[in-house]
Amino acid sequence: MNAETKDQRRSGFVKVLSAFICVLLCLCFWIAAHADLSVSQPLAVWIGSALGKTVVMKTGNLVTTAVTADQVVLTYTVTAGKTFYLQYLRVDTRLTTFATTATYFGATSLENPAATKLLTQMQAGAGITDMPPLGFAEPIPIAAGTVIRVVCTPSSTTSYTWQANFGGYEK
């Protein structure tokens, strides 16, 4: 094979490779344009303006050693005259003494008002749950004076540490 033939083959290969990369890039741009970003960015919610909004972010912790229903991990009372718009919720549970044992911890629930369950999740993992925050596409409005709670019902008397976080804004 002479040098000219090698150059022609190399040039052909480069053209095919360039076309393949171009098609791949077009496919990536198409996927990005049509992807459901609410799955990859669950907390990217912006409704209206920042005018008159007060950011509310709450966290609570509880260590349990009893199988008692609805133990309070986090509680918040919406400010009088305001509406609270809940944007995300995150609840994690772990063995208080670190281990990697597969564990069913129990259930956690979001209550609004107190004692009325809106959402219940089962908590399980290898010594810890590592759930991503649950973001709401449209913030959930909660009326003034309402008590919002995150509660847990442990599955055993093993010592578990529960952590709850939620946030949004009042207006």
Q: Say if residue 108 is in the same domain as residue 143.
A: yes
Which residues form the domain of 73? Answer: 54-170
Residue partners of 148: CB distance under 8 A and separation at least 6: 75, 76, 77, 78, 84, 86, 110, 111, 112, 113, 114, 142, 166
CATH number of the domain that residue 140 is part of: 2.60.120
Is residue 109 in a domain? Answer: yes
Let me know the angle formed at the C-alpha of 97 by 93 and 100, rounded to the nearest 5 degrees: 70
The whole-number pLDDT of residue 91 equals 96
pTM for the predicted model, two decimal places: 0.71
Tell me phi and psi for residue 43, to 5 degrees: -105, 5
The owner of tokens 């009893």 is 66
Residue 20 vs residue 156, higher pLDDT = 156
Residue 39 vs residue 115, higher pLDDT = 115
Closest among 60, 45, 86, 49 to 170, alpha carbons compared: 86
Q: Say if residue 25 is in the same domain as residue 81.
A: no
The whole-number pLDDT of residue 11 equals 64
24-77: per-residue pLDDT in tens?
444 445 455 544 444 444 454 555 667 789 999 999 999 999 999 999 999 999
Is residue 44 in a domain? Answer: no
